[in-house]
Structure 1
Amino acid sequence: MPYGPQSVLGDVLRNPQAASVVRTYMPGLENEPMISTLLRGRLELVTAMVQPLRVDPVARDAFYAGLATVADTAVEEPLVEPETVPLADYESADVAVGSARLVQRTSVRQWRHFEVELHGPAHGNPFTEVELHAEFSQGERTLTAHGFYDGEGVYRIRFMPDQEGEWAFRTSSNARSLDGITGGFACDPAGPDDHGPVRVHERFHFHHADGTRILPLGTTAYDWTNQGEDLEKQTLQTLADSPFNKIRMGVFPKSFVYSTGEPPSFPFEGSPETGWDFQRPNPAYFRHLEERIEQLGDLGIEADLILFHPYDRWGFSDMGPVADDRYLRYVVARLAAHANVWWSLANEYDCMFSKDAAHWPRSAAVIRERDPHDHLMSVHNWVELYDNSADWVTHSSIQRGPEDTRTWREQWDKPVALDEMGYEGDIDWGWGNLTAQEMVRRCWDGVVRGGYVTHGECYLADDDILWWAKGGVLKGESTSRLEFLRTILEQTPSDAAGIDPLPGEFDFPVGGVEGRYHLTYFGAAQPGVRSFALRPGTRYRAEIIDTWNMTVTEVPGSHEGEFTLTLPGRPYIAVRLLAVAGHNG
């Protein structure tokens, strides 16, 4: 049977004659920034993504005609890595139980991470051969936190106490020296900026574990933690001066357009030239990542961590199921005690050709089993929306425009995070050259429809530093307007969970809090007047919000039932109606 559009590229390349056809029509394929992902892709997907076949249908037809003359040869299935099971005799019987040296603090604030540091054995491969966890107890309540190996004979177990008072712990391990170690600590009151992990609240919204409301307004800088000290510090300063309280970012380095350099270090031992030992994480890489996550937390910014992504030329997108699960256990053990972590299983899950449908619920189960603090979890799409009704999905993470936000809320009965609506910028890709006005319009539209929105920016620069990929500085005009949007959001009644869709006319979205607070957004339209029909019995003050020029103008008088307002007759206007105290029906 000849090769064709349904053939997998990696299989085709194993046949020398077919590989010759590929090299003829896709020269330089091995230098594609996503080569590790493309190798697992069907040819119909690869030819839609790679130049010159992507834009040349004649060449594409000739490519398939050339392949049709080559017989499809049987391809051996790749070897599947066996699971490593830690053995009871990792340390010999003459090693005293609980003899590892313990280092710990005596107290920690609520919602901060407490750490058990153990100095123990380093022979063999402790990453795979040692199992370590601890039971943390307060009264009758017990939580399990898993440990990880941090190199040079050091093991760590991290835990985030959620209640004040005295806590005790006891370790368990197949390594005798790490087993049965006990201790305790005092959990002091939380600091003024410590509110705990973010949870879903009232079905469609979010709050921190202590009940503090959070209205996420995100941005995207996928690979900012792999850019070196100077640029990363600049990114942190930019974030400190920005309105964003959530950032989408990857654990693995990224290989894609405008992000083609080598990172300063890699997540596993090895090198691009010699390959990787997926059984040996590089602790220095993850220490650096967690330092940046801590710095984000100090700025009040949630780290929406992308655990897998397809933008890969090193092989991290195709490690195999056993290595994937092992990596997840390691990352969760290291990072789950940070209050500002969200788990995003993937960026564009349906572009990860090496993952089958079973990968995502299996990964979610690994995380849930290893995360005692129950952080938020989502999975982000490329073309096909994930089935966000799955019980492990806490909120939807969507790559689409905002128009169907209300439908998705009703379909999944969960918060909707519009995490990728396109990017303000001027690059040659349609998703990365929105005007600032359009970026702001989509954000306002999504918010008024009851969603939570994420910004991004892709401006070309002489230094080849695009915020969306590498961080740095923000160059566009949307950020200040989104700061204004955040101010408006925070003026939503403080006892309300957030903005919900409200009944309105068919033509423009309306959101807010029924009978108390109404926002109507007109986007790129420019009405000179607008009629409103609200339930009688409540009088409202009316304000005209210019979302681009960032002004709020109060309309004289108050209004009830059916009324008409004169508007500026220009785009990007919203009307806010606020119930007058003492006039609720």
Structure 2
Amino acid sequence: MRIGTLLFWILFFSGFHLEAQSEVEKWDIFELQLNGKKEGNPFTEIQLTAKFYHKQDTVAVSGFYDGNGSYKLRFMPDKEGAWRYITASNDTRLHEQKGTFQCIPPKNGNHGPVVVKDTFHFAYSDGKPFYPLGTTAYGWIQQNRETREKTLESLKKSPFNKIRVALLPHAPSGTDYELYPFEGKGKDWDFTRFNVAYFAQYEHYIQEMQKLGIQVDLFVFHPYDKGVWGFDKMNKKEQYLFLNYVNARFGAFRNIWWSMANEFDLMLERTTEDWDGYFRFFQDNDPYHRLRSIHNAAKWYDHSKPWVTHISAQSEAWWKSTTLRDTFKKPVLFDEFCYEGDGDNRTVALNGDMIRHRFWLMTILGAYATHGEAFNQQGTGYQFFRQGGNFEGSSAKELHALKKVLDDIPGHLKPLGTDWRLNWIRAGVDETYYLYYFGEYQNSSWTFTELPENLKYQVEVIDTKSGTTVKKDRTFGMGDKLDLPGKPYMAVVLRLVSL
């Protein structure tokens, strides 16, 4: 260590009060709780930040008020070893609080946050590929405890590893909740005072989903509050106060993704400059650089802007997956391509075969899909994509077969184009792995005319609807003919077994 660096640390920690050193695993959360002012409005009157130091690295984070005079700072370390910190605040009780902790290796199941990988894909921070297999339940965390727990149990049994969630109340007029995000009587909201119990409920379920390996795609604004809740009346200063609180409170959770809005173009009171500003806020103030997107209704945002990490589209044009990838040079997620359900219009009335089929097609084309379900649950009026509850359709169960395939892929799939005998047929990982999908066609056989010469592959035939597999004893290579069941929705996996 250079003398100047050593002198800095000696001066920095002179008078430093050491307590029992805590341990935090890599990509988990170190939380510091301090007591300070509770009179007046601490949300606006008190500023609290901290800097965390690891060798030559410095990370700045914001703290937040958690009610009853309690302030918290949350920090996610991304490097093992000793970390030190010092706080800064305009409240002397919170100012220049110093400490240290040890970051230890991550435990089993902790692969770190998800990031963009190789332009079109996602991976955990430790390099493990991540294939988003999403679902939608906008307002489930806002429901009563019974519904929340029922939803969590449904997610445990599902194949999904990503979920789209609304932060603000998401329900039609007339709905009443136990908790709301802001203080106020008779829904006359004070947007400068946050209901800490509301946000604590969210963080509890964010942590529960993290245990299940589920990424939380959290959109901070949405259009359904207009004229119902009145949240659209937040002025610009209040909007950024809200964003700052959300970032400070949730940003350290490794399974958080930021979505600026659901169906942003229906919020007519917001301009393009407003949406650009929200993106830039997270780009500048989120020290962990979580994934950032925005979701459309009819009008698309310009996804080429540098602060957009991936495309979150509402569109049925799944056949444009490759074109969108090539145009924007970013991962493509069809986060809403219509829902399985029994609704009164085509967007909420797809059958399970259609949902499952589109998932497999998008996988072959190099994009990612998100499930939604819109059944009227046993006459209650609940629909999973709005309020959570139980899955009632077939696709949630049948997508387990796709999840198993994705979990076993030795890398990221590359779309390999079409064959004159069948469209949307093939993707692969170098020459080591291939995935074929025959979709609605019911081939009785397939001859492999497109494999590398002199290589042999173990073949597995998968019925994507039933989830059953038929493993072949023999290996296959260029020119070999594979017998197929003559049924639709069949997939074939090839794994390299010899060179």
Larger radius of gyration: 1
Q: Which residue is 2:4 aligned to?
A: none
> Would the alpha carbon gap of residues 104 and 423 (structure 1) be closer, same or farther in structure 2, given more than 3 Å must change?
farther
User: Which deviates more, 558-567 or 281-290?
Assistant: 558-567
- Which position in structure 2 is the counterpart of 1:577? 494
CA distance in 1, matches of 2:21, 2:264: 40
| 2:381 aligned with 1:467 | no
Size of the aligned set, in residue pairs, is 476
Q: Deviations over 1:217-266 (max 9, x none)?
A: 1111110001111110111111111111111111111124xx85222111
Q: Is the 8 A contact 2:374 2:384 kept in 1?
A: yes
Amino acid of the structure 1 residue aligned with 2:301: Y
State the Cα deviation string for residues 259-317 of structure 1 (Å, max 9, x = none): 8522211111114x351111111111111111111111112111111111111111223
1:382 aligns with 2:289: no
2:99 paired with 1:186: no
CA distance in 1, matches of 2:439, 2:19: 57
Q: Which runs of 5+ in 1 are unaligned?
A: 1-100
Q: Which residue of 1 aligns with 2:6?
A: none
Q: TM-score, normalised by structure 2?
A: 0.90
Aligned to 1:287: 200
Structure 2 CA distance for partners of 1:110 and 1:555, relative to 1, 3 Å: closer
The corresponding residue for 2:149 is 233
CA offset digits 1:298-345 (Å, max 9, x no partner): 121111111111111112234232222111111000001111111111
> Structure 1, residues 24-78: CA drift from partner, whole Å, max 9, x if none?
xxxxxxxxxxxxxxxxxxxxxxxxxxxxxxxxxxxxxxxxxxxxxxxxxxxxxxx
| Cα distance in structure 2, aligned partners of 1:103 and 1:220 | 44
Partner of 2:9: none
Q: Does 1:246 align with 2:159?
A: no
Separation in structure 2 between the aligned mates of residue 103 and residue 297 of structure 1, nearest angstrom:
30
Counterpart residue number, 1:514: 430
Residue among 200, 212, 234 paired with 2:116: 200
**1:108-507 map, 5 Å:** 108-256=24-172, 261-271=175-185, 273-312=186-225, 313-401=228-316, 402-460=318-376, 461-493=378-410, 496=411, 498-505=412-419, 507=422
Give the match for residue 30 of structure 1: none
| Higher strand proportion | 2
Match of 1:25 in 2: none
Q: Is the contact made by 1:102 and 1:116 (CA closer than 8 Å) also made in structure 2?
A: no
Contact 2:342/2:348, CA 8 A, preserved across alignment: yes
Residues 102 and 119, structure 1, Cα contact 8 Å, conserved in 2: no
In 1: Cα distance, 2:174 partner to 2:361 partner = 34
- Paired residue secondary structure (1:244): coil
State the distance in 2 between where 1:227 and 1:103 align.
41
Aligned with 1:398: secondary structure? Answer: strand
Q: For the Cα contact (< 8 Å) 1:448–1:501, is it kept in 2? A: yes
Query: What SS does the corresponding residue of 2:99 show, helix, strand or coil?
Result: strand
Q: Is the 8 A contact 1:105 1:114 kept in 2?
A: no
8 Å Cα contact 1:102/1:118 also seen in 2: no
Q: How does 1:490-569 map to 2 (within 5 A)?
A: 490-493=407-410, 496=411, 498-505=412-419, 507-509=422-424, 510-534=426-450, 535-554=452-471, 557-562=474-479, 564-569=481-486
| 1:114-164 residue CA offsets vs partner (Å, 9 max, x unmatched) | 112111112322111222100001122110010111122111111011122
- The question of whether the paired residues in 2 share the 8 Å contact of 1:500 and 1:513 is answered with yes
Task: Name the stretch that deviates more: 423-432 or 223-232.
Answer: 423-432
CA deviation after TM superposition for structure 1 residue 176, in Å = 2.9
Give aligned-pair identity as a percent. 39
Please tell me whether the aligned partners of residues 103 and 117 of structure 1 are also in contact (alpha carbons under 8 angstroms): no
Query: RMSD in angstroms over aligned alpha carbons?
Result: 2.2
Give, as a single letter, the amino acid of the residue that structure 1 aligns with 2:224. Answer: Y
How far is the alpha carbon of 1:365 from its aligned partner? Answer: 1.4
State the distance in 1 between where 2:184 and 2:21 align. 35
Write the distance in 2 (CA, Å) between the matches of 1:407 and 1:566.
Answer: 33
- Which segments of 5 or more consecutive residues in structure 2 lack a partner in the other structure? 1-16
Query: SS of the counterpart of 1:446?
Result: helix
